[in-house]
Structure formats: C-alpha cells, structure tokens
Amino acid sequence: MSSAVRRINEPVPAQVWLGDDGRPTQVTWRGRPERVECVLDTWYVDDAWWAERPVRRIYHEVQLDSGVRLVLSWDLVAKRWLAQR
Amino acid sequence: METAPVIACCWLPGFALRIVAHGAGVDLAGPVALASEAAAHPVVLDCTEAARAHGVAPGMLVSHAMGCCSALEVLGCDVPRVEQAAERFVVRLEAMGAAVQLVEPGRVYFDAAPLELLYGGLVGVFERVLGAFRGGDVRLGAGPNPFVSWVGARHAAPGGWLRVEPGEARRMLARMPIDLLPAGPDLVQLLRALGLATLGDIAALEAHHVADRFGAEGLVLRNLARGDDPTPLEPRVPIEPVSDALAFPEPVANEQTLESGVELLAQRLVQHPRCVLHAPRSVVLTCVLATGGSWQARRALRTPTLDVQKHVLAIRPSLADLPGPVERMEFAFEQFALREARQRTLLDAGGSLLTGDGGDEGATGGGLGDERVRRGMRHVLETVGEEALLQVLEVEPWSRVPERHAVLVPRRVGAEDASTDAEVDSAAVARGDVGRGVWR
C-alpha cells in the first residue's frame, strides 16, 4: 500500500559560484544570490551505482551570510549543482 | 563635520620570529631563522640580522641556509602561538577604541582620526598606542591611506612614529626603493632591469605607457608610487572570545585525561551568556606542549549545538595526533549561529505528546495536551483525507546523502497508533523507489 510515502528534502538545481580553491563562494537560494560565509564540511558520495538513479556527488555543507545552512552538491552524473537543506 | 581619515599602520618587524623565539627561549642576537611548516622542503620565512650577515635570506631553502651559516639556529613556525599573539596585538588596540584591520601578524591598520578627541589630538593617540607596546620595538606610521602609512611605519624609528601629511606623500615616496610596492619579485626585477629604481621613477611614467607595458597591475602600482591608494580599511568587528583554559600541574599525555579536560572546559563554556541564544558551529582546542611548542585542532560541528558530548566527540579523534604531553589546554567556541529552531518530535512512538524544553532533547510532558492534539489530528483526517496527516520518519539519519535521512509517511491516530510499524525499506530509499509505492 501507501503511495503516500514521500521523499523530503530532495535536492533542487542551484546556481553556484566557486572560488579559486574550487569551493562555493556564492549561491542562488530561493531566487536570491547569497554569499557563502564558510564551508563547514566537504565529502564525496559514490553510491547506488546499480540503481536507475546512481548518486555520484561532491557535497559541500555551507553556512550562508544570512545564517542559513545548506548542502550544495556537484552531481557528477548530471553535471549540475544541487542544493538542499 | 566629518574629518579626513588618518590611517595609522602599527607594525612590529619580525613579529612571528620574535614570538616563536620568545616561546623557545632563543636569543635573537645570534643567527636565527624561522622555517615554514612544509615537511619536505621548508624555506626560511624570516631571519635575524646576524643570519643575514652570513647570506641567509627569506625564501631560501633551509638546507641552503644551513650551508651559508653552520651556526644557524632554525625554529619551526609555531602557527597557533603566532596567531594567538597576533590576536593579543589587535585586542590591545581595540581596547583603546580603535577599529582595527589585521593585515598580517604584527601589522595592522586603523583610522586614528576618531580617537583624536579621546586622547587629546593625533600625537596623543600615537603616544598612547606606542605606550601600549612599550619595549616591543613597535613602529607607527600615519598617512592619508594604507600604503603611505605602511611606508611611514617602515621608516619610523623603533618605538617611534612618523606622520606623512597628504600633500607630502608623493615627495616622501619619490626617494623610496621599488621593493616597497606590493609586487612579486619577478616584476620588481623587471622594473629594475628597465632602470626604474625608485617609486619616483614609476610615478613619473605616463599612465598609458604603464598600461601598455604592465596592464591594470602596472596602473595600480603607479598610483601607489604617486601616494594614491584607494583601498578602504576593512576593520574587523571585535568579538568577545568564548574560551576557557586549563593548566595541568604536570604535563599530561593520557588521552582520557585530556578528554576529561575538554569536557570540563566545554561544560564551563556552555554557561557563557553568548550561549543563551547562540550555539557554536566549530570548536578549537589549543594545547601548549611540555616541549615548548603548541598544537591546535579546529573541528566543524554538523549542526550548531550546546551538547557537550558532541563537542568532545568532535575533538576526540584529534587527540591521538598530539605530538607530546600537554601543559595547558584552551578550548574555544567559534562561528556562532542562532540556536536552530529545529522542528522537534511532537508525539512519541506510543502517541504521547512530547513537550520540548528548548534544549537539544525533548522531554516527555505527560498527558496534558494529548487529547487535544489527538482530536485535532482526527479532525484533519476526517475533513481533508487520510493522506493529509503525515509524519517525518527517520530512515537513515546517518547517511551522507541528505535526502535519505527521512521520509514522510501517513500518520494514524488512536490507541493502535504505532507509526513505527511503517517500516520503510531503506534500500528502497537508496534506490529512489520511495514515493513510487515500494515499502513493506
């Protein structure tokens, strides 16, 4: 049963600017450009390669100037930036 | 009326070398060099006059420097100690009311004009600043912009000040060597090869000639040589540090003891007034080693938290990297964020209402609003439909893929309510099947 089970916090496409060191410096979040105050963590995931939707992403957990914390990821399969809380 | 800024540059030459040598008890009268941290090919960052007399120079490989001077004493750069000293340098000026921009350890800029009334004129400000660093060989330069004040500080006598009036800047700079310009060694060498030895030579060049040959960088250097530096000051906002320290009666190497020390300090820090509304995003442990050096570990927390155990957990792996016994440890909170307005669990697995206490963990509040919540939930189900009432179910909270942390599942109401019977197949989440009807 239960088609009502829903995913939450799905990543959405985002526009991300990078610094010389390859880390995010600015991101468009909810239609507004916001400066990245600091990168808290960076990690790489290569998972579910057997599945229809493999996950191959480089993640950056960032804190924006506004105090919002986001997880930005570069999707190595789709070649695009994603953002999620 | 707004007064014109008087940019002051407060400079202590050889700052890092002095700090490290002082910590190691080394006399700077002899040939001493400060080496970079690079393990493979360390280079000389700074050296004493006695070392320079033997041909040692900054930028040189340490191995070459040793070849130039067999008596050379090489000190490793103790970065945490230098950073702490640089912070004290800035704090001392901020205590006088100055808004300070730290350029590098031992070199800061501030606008002296707003302090004039406080200390009875600019001379009063300068004397007050130098008085704060008495015996420290600090020099003070003042001018209409950062570059002129920096050149002034370089030419001031030890413990003295030199003020350059706006109208005098170009004339004063004209005789100065081009090494003072913030340009790379290759460019300085090229300028010399072209016969440009002083700032006056560069200032005399036509702008379009400079632009043709050196582009935008050349124009910036020409402006500096003419005493024009439009760079605005960017003073930092003074922040009261949230830190506490613990000195051991005897050096400690035992990890458990050190961990207990961190826990004790963290427990003290969470009582700080700053932690009423804010929580740290990162923690820093700085240790003074029995061998004389210092060591530092800075760790980011996954979420801003006041949970002492999480602070200890973040630092614990680093303790294994300590190079020696510890005499004193300092623990600090950094990068504060508002304590997250995190959504907490409303009902426990048995359907009882949980009331949050505002802390990191919720507490069971008893049955006082249980019935009202249940009634509200039933009302939503009856009026909107079965799929209107959902709850967040943690699936893989440990996952490094954020969308796998939790899913939304239907919430039923009543005594039989045991929402955790909604066992979601975490492999299905990984496959991306959730939302397409796969669960068991």
Q: Supply the DSSP string of B331-371, one letter for each residue.
A: EEEEEEEEPP-----SB-TTS-BEEE-SSSSEEE--STTHH
**B342 reaches A (C-beta below 8 A):** no
Show residues of chain B in contact with A58, CB under 8 Å: none
Show residues of chain B in contact with A45, CB under 8 Å: 400-401
Show residues of chain A in contact with B335, CB under 8 Å: 38, 63
User: Is pLDDT at B432 greater than 70 in this prediction?
Assistant: no
Q: For the whole model, what pTM was predicted?
A: 0.58
Which of B385 and B266 is assigned the larger pLDDT? Answer: B266
How is domain B7-159 classified at the CATH fold level? MutS, DNA mismatch repair protein, domain I (3.40.1170)
Q: Which residues 6+ apart lie within 8 Å of B217 measured at CB? A: B183, B187
Give me the residues of A, 23-62, that contact B with CB < 8 A.
Answer: 38, 40-41, 43, 45, 47-48, 51-53, 55, 57, 59, 61
Interface test with B, best of A7, A63, A85 (most B CBs within 10 A): A7
This model of the complex carries an ipTM of: 0.88
Q: Please indicate whether, in this complex, the C-beta atoms of B437 and A47 are within 8 angstroms of each other.
A: no
Shortest alpha-carbon distance between residue B272 and chain A (Å): 21
Show residues of chain A in contact with B387, CB under 8 Å: 4
Per residue in B236-260, pLDDT tens? Answer: 877 677 999 999 999 999 999 999 9
Task: Give me the mean pLDDT over the B379-405 stretch.
Answer: 83
Residue range(s) of every CATH 1.10.150.20 domain in chain B: 167-225
The rounded distance, in Å, linking the Cα atoms of B330 and B273 is: 19
User: Is pLDDT at B422 greater than 60 in this prediction?
Assistant: no
- State residue B414's pLDDT score: 58
User: Is pLDDT at B137 greater than 90 in this prediction?
Assistant: no
Task: Give me the mean pLDDT over the B411-422 stretch.
Answer: 51
Q: Which of A3, A47, A84 sits opposite B402 (nearest CB)?
A: A84
**B407 reaches A (C-beta below 8 A):** yes
- State residue B299's pLDDT score: 85
Q: Please indicate whether, in this complex, the C-beta atoms of B402 and A2 are within 8 angstroms of each other.
A: no
B56, B44 in Cβ contact below 8 A?
A: yes
- Kindly tell me the burial class for residue B28, based on how many C-beta atoms sit within 10 Å of its own C-beta (0-12, 13-18, 19 or more): middle
Give me the residues of B, 301-320, that contact A with CB < 8 A.
Answer: 301-303
The rounded distance, in Å, linking the Cα atoms of B165 and B173 is: 12
- In three-state form (DSSP H/G/I as H, E/B as E, the rest C), the secondary structure along A59-85 is EEEEEECCCCEEEEEEECCCCEEEEEC
- In three-state form (DSSP H/G/I as H, E/B as E, the rest C), the secondary structure along B181-249 is CCCCHHHHHHHHHCCCCEHHHHHCCCHHHHHHHHHHHHHHHHHHHCCCCCCCCCCCCCCCCEEEEEEEE
User: Is pLDDT at B108 greater than 90 in this prediction?
Assistant: yes
Q: Quickly count: other Cβ atoms within 10 Å of residue B134's Cβ.
A: 8
Shortest alpha-carbon distance between residue B370 and chain A (Å): 25
Domain B167-225: give its CATH code. 1.10.150.20
Show residues of chain A in contact with B300, CB under 8 Å: 40-41
Per residue in A69-84, pLDDT tens? Answer: 899 999 998 899 999 9
Q: Please indicate whether, in this complex, the C-beta atoms of B300 and A7 are within 8 angstroms of each other.
A: no
Q: Which CATH superfamily is domain B242-338 in?
A: DNA polymerase, Y-family, little finger domain (3.30.1490.100)
pLDDT band for position B364 (cuts 50, 70, 90): very low
Q: Which of A8, A41, A51 sits opposite B407 (nearest CB)?
A: A8
Per residue in B143-169, pLDDT tens? Answer: 999 999 999 999 999 999 999 988 888
Residue B360's φ and ψ, nearest 5 degrees, are: -75, -25
